[in-house]
Structure 1
Amino acid sequence: MNYEKNDYFKILKTWCDTLIKLQMKEPQSPAIYGGIFCPACGRIHGRINDCMYPLIYLYKKTGDKKYYEAAKDVYCWTKHNTHRPGGFFLNDPNCLWFATTVFFNIQLGELLYHCKDVICPIEWEEWNASYCETLDFIYKNFNENLSCNINYRIAAAAAMAVAWAVKGEEKYKQRARELALYAINHIGEDGLIFGETQGLDSYGITPRGCRGVDLGYNVEESLPNLAVYLKYIGEDRTVEQALLRSMDAHLSFMLPDGAWDNSWGSRSAKWTYYGSRTSDGCQGAYAYLSDRNALYAEAAHRNFLLYKKSTHNGLLTGGPHYADARLPTCIHHTFCHAKSLIPLIESKMKRDKDLLLPRETSKGMKTFSSVNVTLAAKGHFKASFSCYDFNALNASTTPTGGALTMLWNDKAGVILAASINEYDLVENLNMQVPPYFNDICQTPRLELKRGKEVFRNTLDTTANITALEDKTTLVYNAQGVLKNFLLRGTERFQITYKLGDSIFEICAATTAEDAVYILPLIARNTEALTVCGPAAQLKRENAVITITCSQPITHDTSIGKRIFHPCGGFLSAHLRVPIPKNQQVTLKIKVQ
């Protein structure tokens, strides 16, 4: 293979070259030297060790010594600043979380296994010592008693499988199989992996029968690490069949442009449109197993194209509009996702460009019971709706109450995309601070303000949902109570969404006085927006989005003409429509 002409390889090289430019060479203090400075967060992230394998991989393929030296320096910084006695590495120097040790261990094991012929004896001895130390820690401590999300236990299965290949000791093979079986017991009837519960019971069930599910972490860490397990453990038909079934189910949520519709997930605070902020990338599963299903190759490639579009100034941004918003790029996305390009490069997968993804061919409505999320497709529109009631931390997290979490159009792309109800740094070391602290919620919603209190339909976890379809229209209806962040409220609401072949309708009504419907329309700074009376129009490069209403539409510019939200990484124009008491108001969205 001519790696220099391979698009996947070129992006990997671009990312790593930029990380090297950001690597600290002065001063010679061990607290600084070798670290990679993050221009967005103003510090050195503790998990930069994730890029060691990609750097050594590039050294092996190009012979350029700078990659080897960069990996050496990253390791030295990591060892000095995040290593602790007992065999674990902290997520960050000022953070007590240690379970990310498993990710360092996996990539270090793969590095030692695949690149041993280019590693000098001094580094081999030092890196192998760290590998063995972390391996022993994981073997002893990553079990059912460890309070963590399911992605860590699945990663432990991968770590043990890699250890079986590297060390050849039977105990690692046995533990890998035990952990893999535990993992597939967390695949629900609908095929989605559950257990992303922020330390709560991984088998826990909500009052609506939902589980802790996050699409981003599932497709970018859990599925890929089950694939890593299979790669190194050898044949395991039970796990393979469960994994393929789960990959098929998750693929239902991939949008036609390769994005993952995780607007509703339990950890959607870190959603980046192409995946999640600090996870690895879906290619580890879909590229590696592309020989099992040709759709997997197409999914892996389309998702890669989003990486390419979202790469600016050599770094992978946290979503499509970061560059438009002129925000600095956090390096977390780049050094975490670099690993996913290696299986993409090495898979030698063959694409069938005529293949269509499930979201392109699906018609009608489908509900995933473990999350109470409904996918709908009619004509050129694709939508997702959520009445998911899993809130691991607080009501600020996932939108619910019959929320419209995604509206996508074949001509226009993303029209509407939900965010968490209130932007909060639920993982303050792994998330980016927005440029303002106002209410920037990006979820379309019915809202009522009473003094300082805000009541929304998207906070009602107990709303009644009905979904109907006939030959001409798909209908999703939500009835409930406008609630505050304490999940209290008295005013009732009803919202009905209708998908036709050419029109998407939102019909909203409430018993409250002075309520409004807020429609955050995804819009770049360069896209012209016109609002006049009961109509609004947004001109995109290849489409015109027209919104008409039975009430006047206004554009709320109190924060700005465009408001950036880190969830998804979008700019939006916040449109507002008054909802008179006990009167139904209809908004119609059309794309030309």
Structure 2
Amino acid sequence: MRKQIYFNLLKTWLDALLKYQLSHENMPETDGALLCPACMVVHGRCHDAVYPLIYMAEQTGDPKYLKAAKKLFAWAEHLLCDNGGFYNDAQSQWQGITAFSAVALYDILRFHGHFIDAGWKAEIEERLRQNSEWVYQNIDLQSTININYLAAAAAVMAVSGKYFKREDYQCRAGELAQLCRQHFTEDALIFGEGSPRQEITPKGCRPVDIGYNVEETLPSLLLYAQTAGDQEVMAAVKESMHRHLAFMLPDGAWDNSMGSRSFKWTYWGSRTSDGCQAAYALCHEQAVFQEAADRNIELYQKCTHHGLLYGGPDYFVHGEKPCLHHSICHAKVLATVLNHGLPEFSGLKLPVETAKTVQYFKALDTYKIKKDQWYITFTGYDHPYMKGGHASGGAITMLWHPLTGPVMLSGMTEYQLREPHNMQLSRQSKMHQSLTFRLTYYQGQTEYSSCEDFSVRLTVAETPDQVSVKAEGELKNSHHDGLADPIRYQLDYQCYKDQIKINGRLLNVRQREVEVILPIIGRHTQAFIRQEKELIFDRVKARIRVFTDQQIAEPEPVFSLVPGFEAWKIKIKPDQTDEFAVTIKIQEIKKEGKTL
């Protein structure tokens, strides 16, 4: 049963990808490449699809997959440098992705070496040898690259060292793995997704990205440990995998709303990484890991349309195109999981569903709250990976309920193409806006908001009936600088079993126009109802009810590519005392149409 689900999804993606393969016999520079419909370019990493295409060729016997794989493999030669490394793209000098290509080549030889002809096998071996030597020559203990590349390099050195019987590679693998071990926090998260990699912020935070950790770093370290037989690293990896499950929501999403590289967050993972199944589905002895892998697969299925994986749950309904990166990268992982086999197991709850009420993650200055059926994330994270990146300021970056899914969430505070080759643009630019809850004031064209305050102070108190979260901060711009005459704020969140209350107070306003921006997640095809002091947003199973005594403007339809949701932006004007209050409730809809 599980195998069929994974297999069908992989075949769906590959069949769709083949529709985008170019056939230019008189132009070898593009012949065999895959043209991305979202980015309208050929992504350099599209040759990673060779591996899953070979898998499908062997499983089905259909020659179209093998033909496509051979053309794509041949095309990749145009990005292969004389030093053995691959360019990320034709206009990108970055070659670190060579490590991921090498692992894919190794998997072809490991699982399908018997299937391909001897001549092509020799070509694949030679390319693996070139890629591996590039990794050996260019990634070592002095490298200043992000942790995901160090972990991938450890995996490459381990598998290539074993395949080519290179003790120097195997030695390097162990050295790199031990360096990665130095990037585990006290509570078993992994830091290093930032520059400098070991930076400690004024609050004591580290550069942590949940998406990259679960989709690349942990899978790479697991592959290293399994290949090298390193039980110490294996134990650390499994402990970290458990800890990261605190960030998996019941619907299989990864809450990376506060991650250092959340500009690539897709709700199901990260735009160009390989997928959490490469870690969780390959630990057969732990059923909770299998459960996590399967729930994430279910989310892939929901985000797959016309055969391709889209970059977020609402991309398709909003009219956005799917970037091929998503299907290509995650197809590799499904092939690997299928090659290893999938044990059957009885479903069980995820750790997040039985978690204690309050969890604090020091490396992220982030609280995760579970109050009855509410799942809530508050953050004061202060790692400055980029301008306009993750939110801070004590914002709710995730408010989730099982009857509605996400009610509030935060992606980027200001959308920018930090990685132009790996991100896309929306042609509906006026509607493309941040989904972050914030207090905001404009001085000229410059926005000052609560979500940009990296110095915010968070305090949490818990009683049997409620969890109270208080945030005290200052409105700041995207460079995290305040006004010459600062506007301060206090936010008091009260989390009850049946409702969330947000009380806010502004200080030193001096008649300046400050607004409360409250985006409520919801598709634009689902209308809202406006009453005197209430807005009602219908979902399939429940209604989201938003109450306030303050003046509310007409909700505005907005969308954000990160992490790919439509929403209704509510603007609230504080009262004459510069205060406001909002209450959010979920009202279940019975099958016969009545509400509870």
Please classify the TM superposition score into its range, dividing by the shorter chain length. over 0.9
1:514–1:581 contact (8 Å) kept in structure 2: no
Q: Does 1:479 align with 2:479?
A: no
2:141–2:175 contact (8 Å) kept in structure 1: no
Q: For 1:214 and 1:451, locate their aligned partners in 2 and report how far apart those are by CA, in whole Å.
A: 34
Hey, what does 1:571 align to over in structure 2?
566
Hey, what does 2:51 align to over in structure 1?
53
Q: For 1:410 and 1:41, locate their aligned partners in 2 and report how far apart those are by CA, in whole Å.
A: 34
2:225–2:231 contact (8 Å) kept in structure 1: no
Hey, what does 2:330 align to over in structure 1?
337
Hey, what does 1:531 align to over in structure 2?
530
Q: Does 1:314 align with 2:307?
A: yes
CA drift of 1:581 comes to 5.5
Hey, what does 2:443 align to over in structure 1?
450
**Partner amino acid, structure 2, of 1:564:** F
Hey, what does 1:585 align to over in structure 2?
580
Q: Does 1:424 align with 2:424?
A: no
Q: For 1:402 and 1:351, locate their aligned partners in 2 and report how far apart those are by CA, in whole Å.
A: 40
Hey, what does 2:126 align to over in structure 1?
129
Q: For 1:387 and 1:228, locate their aligned partners in 2 and report how far apart those are by CA, in whole Å.
A: 34
Q: Which moved more, 1:46-55 or 1:122-131?
A: 122-131
RMSD: 1.5
Q: Deviations over 1:23-50 (max 9, x none)?
A: 0013530121101011111111000011
The 5 A counterparts of 1:500-579 are 500-511=496-507, 512=509, 513-557=512-556, 562-579=557-574
CA drift of 1:209 comes to 0.4
The 5 A counterparts of 1:82-481 are 82-197=79-194, 200-233=195-228, 235-291=229-285, 293-345=286-338, 346-353=340-347, 355-394=348-387, 396-438=388-430, 440-481=433-474
Q: For 2:37 and 2:187, locate their aligned partners in 1 and report how far apart those are by CA, in whole Å.
A: 41
> In the alignment, which of 491, 512, 516 is matched to residue 495 of structure 1?
491
CA drift of 1:78 comes to 1.2
4+ runs deviating over 6 angstroms: none
Q: Which moved more, 1:581-590 or 1:214-223?
A: 581-590
Aligned partner of residue 317 in structure 2, secondary structure:
coil
2:437–2:518 contact (8 Å) kept in structure 1: yes
CA drift of 1:294 comes to 1.4
Structure 2 gap segments, 5+ residues each = 588-596
CA drift of 1:66 comes to 1.3
Hey, what does 2:593 align to over in structure 1?
none
Q: Deviations over 1:339-365 (max 9, x none)?
A: 121343333222322x11111112311
Q: For 1:74 and 1:507, locate their aligned partners in 2 and report how far apart those are by CA, in whole Å.
A: 57
Q: For 1:375 and 1:139, locate their aligned partners in 2 and report how far apart those are by CA, in whole Å.
A: 40
CA drift of 1:556 comes to 4.2
**Partner amino acid, structure 2, of 1:575:** I
Structure 1 gap segments, 5+ residues each = none
2:261–2:385 contact (8 Å) kept in structure 1: no
1:531–1:553 contact (8 Å) kept in structure 2: no
Q: For 1:111 and 1:484, locate their aligned partners in 2 and report how far apart those are by CA, in whole Å.
A: 49
TM-score, normalised to structure 2's length? 0.95
Q: Which moved more, 1:271-280 or 1:24-33?
A: 24-33
Q: For 2:325 and 2:226, locate their aligned partners in 1 and report how far apart those are by CA, in whole Å.
A: 26
CA drift of 1:172 comes to 2.2
TM-score, normalised to structure 1's length? 0.95
Aligned partner of residue 97 in structure 1, secondary structure:
coil
Q: For 1:172 and 1:581, locate their aligned partners in 2 and report how far apart those are by CA, in whole Å.
A: 68
Q: For 1:390 and 1:36, locate their aligned partners in 2 and report how far apart those are by CA, in whole Å.
A: 36
1:151–1:196 contact (8 Å) kept in structure 2: yes
Aligned partner of residue 469 in structure 2, secondary structure:
strand
CA drift of 1:179 comes to 1.1
Q: For 1:362 and 1:245, locate their aligned partners in 2 and report how far apart those are by CA, in whole Å.
A: 16
CA drift of 1:290 comes to 3.2
Aligned partner of residue 98 in structure 1, secondary structure:
coil
**Partner amino acid, structure 1, of 2:160:** A
Q: For 1:468 and 1:50, locate their aligned partners in 2 and report how far apart those are by CA, in whole Å.
A: 49
Query: In percent, how many aligned pairs have the same letter?
Result: 37
1:515–1:580 contact (8 Å) kept in structure 2: no
